[in-house]
């Protein structure tokens, strides 16, 4: 199987988190073409308009899959041109992802999700704060992380629970 790196996982999480809630409204950080293309370039993408369009579609599908709104079959469209090519290297077989250039970053993102699901199922999940649209990868031993950020969502949720408990007494 294709080896998924920590960098691939980090890029997947960054991609999923490009639609945060800011001041009560969902913001798409990739919607502006210039910003989206710059986002891709900073992560070693090609930065083309076509690559951005395919990446946004892949992101939207991945978000629905991770939230459990749809099944992984939706991701097959992203992998339509993807091929894993084996090669011998350093005493082992190494798999390299090949795809149409415009599809490569999106396909890498889907393979990062597949790798996480296979190696650490359930570790990639939405933030438990229903008002937040961010995701987290739980890398803790106990697999108990609930929030994208303890400092932000964790504290808000704890404060909300405390307030609700104090109102029922």
Q: What is the 3-state secondary structure (H, E, C) of 38-56?
A: HHHHHCCCCCCHHHHHHHH
**Predicted pLDDT of residue 62:** 98
Instruction: Please give the model's pTM, rounded to 2 decimal places.
Output: 0.85
**Predicted pLDDT of residue 90:** 83
**Predicted pLDDT of residue 54:** 97
What contacts 34, CB < 8 A, 6 or more positions away?
none
**Predicted pLDDT of residue 50:** 97
Instruction: Report d(CA 91, CA 161) in Å as an integer.
Output: 55
Examine the pLDDT at 53 and tell me if it is beyond 90.
yes
**Predicted pLDDT of residue 1:** 58
Examine the pLDDT at 43 and tell me if it is beyond 60.
yes
Residue 124 φ/ψ, nearest 5 degrees: -95, 120
pLDDT interval class at 147 (50, 70, 90): confident
User: What one-character DSSP code corresponds to residue 68?
Assistant: T
Instruction: Report d(CA 18, CA 16) in Å as an integer.
Output: 6
Who wins on pLDDT, 144 or 54? 54
Who wins on pLDDT, 142 or 14? 14
Burial class (CB in 10 A: 0-12, 13-18, 19+), 55: buried
Examine the pLDDT at 2 and tell me if it is beyond 70.
no
Q: Contact at 8 Å (CB) between 107 and 79?
A: yes
User: What one-character DSSP code corresponds to residue 94?
Assistant: E
What is the CATH topology of the domain spanning 6-167? Jann2411-like fold (1.10.3300)
Q: What is the mean pLDDT of residues 133-162?
A: 74
């Amino acid at each position: 199987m294709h080896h998924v790196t920590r960098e691939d996982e980090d890029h997947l999480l960054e991609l999923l988190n490009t639609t945060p809630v800011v001041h009560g409204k969902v913001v798409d950080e990739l919607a502006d073409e210039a910003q989206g293309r710059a986002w891709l370039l900073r992560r070693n993408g090609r930065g083309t308009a076509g690559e951005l369009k395919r990446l946004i579609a892949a992101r939207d599908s991945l978000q629905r899959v991770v939230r459990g709104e749809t099944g992984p079959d939706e991701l097959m469209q992203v992998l339509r041109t993807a091929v894993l090519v084996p090669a011998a290297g350093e005493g082992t077989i190494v798999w390299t992802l090949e795809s149409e250039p415009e599809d490569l970053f999106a396909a890498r993102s889907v393979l990062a999700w597949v790798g996480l699901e296979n190696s650490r199922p359930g570790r990639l999940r939405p933030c438990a704060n229903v008002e937040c649209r961010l995701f987290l990868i739980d890398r803790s031993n106990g697999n108990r992380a609930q929030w994208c950020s303890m400092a932000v969502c964790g504290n808000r949720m704890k404060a909300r629970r405390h307030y609700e408990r104090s109102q029922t007494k």
